[in-house]
């Protein structure tokens, strides 16, 4: 089986989809691996390193049986694939239907890494979680850079410096890592989540869980928070206002799978925050949790910094590439037919059914069939 690994078209993206270590593992499985020249240049992985791991170099993708990428391809790149090829990458299917429609028209089987289920067996393939973990870490580092004071308590000859207060909204993968990082850096940490079930996890990391009675709540079968009603959002914002007013740093991580991020920090809440405080809006790429946040910008609103940087995992590209590469390799290895040295597309497997958007010239995923 010929597997082609394509480099990123966004020149601001420093992550790479596959590292030499995993190229060697794929080669050991019996795959023929071809990489696009310059694949690992942003991380100083030379073409020679990939060749030593067992890869060949080529600019031509049209003969590949499987194509691996990090971010979603363009329609033009999809049209370069052969009929029957398998394409694996982020596809952003909820917001970019033109991509999976192009894949269906081309006869390409499109696997979306966002749609890998959050199940025990698929955990090692879950790219969203691995990248969110690093994003949570980076959010605290960015906050520390933007804040005009230190995070930990310090005992000095000139007096005691009190620890900064960090308030984290959302205790999913990103939020829990942000809590752990802020605690390691010595901050006083509080956290809130609409799912009461995560209170114990928050407390186990040494943070205080802010309780708000929102009535009946829960989470989706993928582990994401369910959307709130307008009444529940109003109660949440009231509690948020008090916590945000006391905080030096606020980190928002609230996202709804496949939907626009909810607005949590309103202008009214911003008006109550103290000058010099910092907000990191981790949901800025899907609409933002904070009023006035702008993608890849730092907005100063009455002395409150609203940081809206996108692609936070890309700020630690070596580790984020290592994790994504591992996710891709584990996905391929899980379905690898060793006897025939090929990827077995098991159309009855839960993981394939969850992540496969297109197949055999059609939009195959039940969730997107109507739009396709």
Could you tell me the CA-to-CA distances from 301 to 243, 282, 349 in Å, in that order? 18, 18, 50
SS3 breakdown of the chain: % helix, strand, coil, rounded to 5?
35, 20, 45
**Strand positions, DSSP E, the chain:** 2-5, 32-35, 55-57, 66-68, 86-89, 109-112, 154-156, 159-161, 165-169, 188-192, 208-209, 249-252, 278-281, 298-301, 304-307, 336-337, 342-343, 356-359, 362-363
Beta strands 356-359 and 362-363, pairing class: antiparallel
The SS3 assignment for 27 reads helix
Q: What ranges in 255-334 are assigned the alpha helix state H?
A: 267-272, 317-334
End-to-end CA distance of the chain: 29
Residues sharing a CB contact under 8 Å with residue 103, sequence separation 6 or more, in sequence order: 78, 87, 109, 110, 357, 358
Which candidate, 97, 96, 68, places its Cα nearest to that of 81?
Answer: 68
**Tokens, residue 226:** 């369910």
Which helix (H) or strand (E) segment is 194 a member of?
none
What φ, ψ does residue 327 adopt, rounded to 5°? -60, -45
Which candidate, 262, 244, 237, 253, places its Cα nearest to that of 169?
Answer: 253
**Residues linked to residue 168 through DSSP beta bridges, in sequence order:** 191, 251
What is the longest distance spanned by two Cα atoms in the chain? 72
**What residues are annotated to the active site?**
118, 123, 126, 129, 224
132 and 312 Cβ atoms separated by less than 8 Å:
no
Residues sharing a CB contact under 8 Å with residue 330, sequence separation 6 or more, in sequence order: 124, 125
Distance between CA 157 and CA 153 in Å, rounded?
Answer: 13
**In angstroms, how far is CA 183 from the centroid of its own chain?**
22
């Amino acid at each position: 089986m010929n597997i082609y690994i394509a480099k990123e078209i966004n020149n601001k993206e420093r992550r790479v989809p596959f590292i030499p270590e995993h190229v060697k593992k794929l080669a050991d499985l019996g795959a023929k691996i071809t990489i696009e020249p310059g694949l690992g240049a942003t991380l100083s992985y030379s073409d020679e390193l990939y060749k030593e791991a067992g890869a060949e170099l080529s600019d031509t993708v049209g003969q590949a049986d499987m194509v691996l990428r990090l971010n979603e391809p363009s329609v033009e790149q999809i049209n370069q694939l052969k009929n029957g090829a398998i394409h694996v990458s982020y596809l952003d299917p909820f917001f970019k239907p033109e991509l999976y429609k192009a894949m269906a028209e081309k006869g390409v089987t499109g696997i979306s890494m966002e749609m890998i289920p959050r199940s025990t067996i698929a955990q090692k393939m879950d790219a969203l979680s691995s990248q969110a973990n690093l994003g949570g870490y980076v959010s605290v580092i960015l906050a520390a850079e933007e804040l005009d004071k230190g995070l930990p308590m310090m005992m000095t000859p000139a007096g005691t410096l009190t620890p900064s207060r960090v308030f984290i909204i959302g205790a999913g993968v990103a939020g829990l890592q942000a809590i752990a990082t802020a605690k390691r850096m010595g901050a006083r940490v509080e956290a809130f989540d609409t799912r009461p079930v995560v209170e114990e996890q928050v407390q186990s990391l040494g943070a205080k869980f802010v309780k708000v009675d929102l009535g009946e709540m829960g989470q989706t079968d993928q582990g994401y928070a369910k959307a709130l009603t307008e009444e529940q959002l109003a109660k949440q914002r009231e509690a948020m206002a008090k916590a945000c007013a006391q905080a030096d740093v606020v980190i928002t991580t609230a996202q709804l799978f496949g939907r626009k991020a909810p607005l949590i920090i309103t202008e009214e809440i911003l008006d109550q925050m103290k000058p010099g405080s910092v907000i990191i809006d981790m949901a800025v790429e899907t609409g933002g949790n904070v009023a006035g946040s702008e993608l890849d910008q730092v907005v100063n609103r009455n002395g409150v910094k609203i940081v809206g940087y996108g692609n936070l995992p890309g700020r630690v590209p070596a580790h984020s590439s290592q994790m994504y590469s591992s996710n891709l390799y584990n996905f391929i290895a899980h379905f690898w037919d060793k006897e025939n040295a090929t990827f077995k597309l098991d159309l009855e497997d839960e993981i394939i059914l969850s992540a496969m958007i297109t197949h055999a010239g059609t939009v195959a995923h039940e969730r997107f069939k109507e739009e396709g």
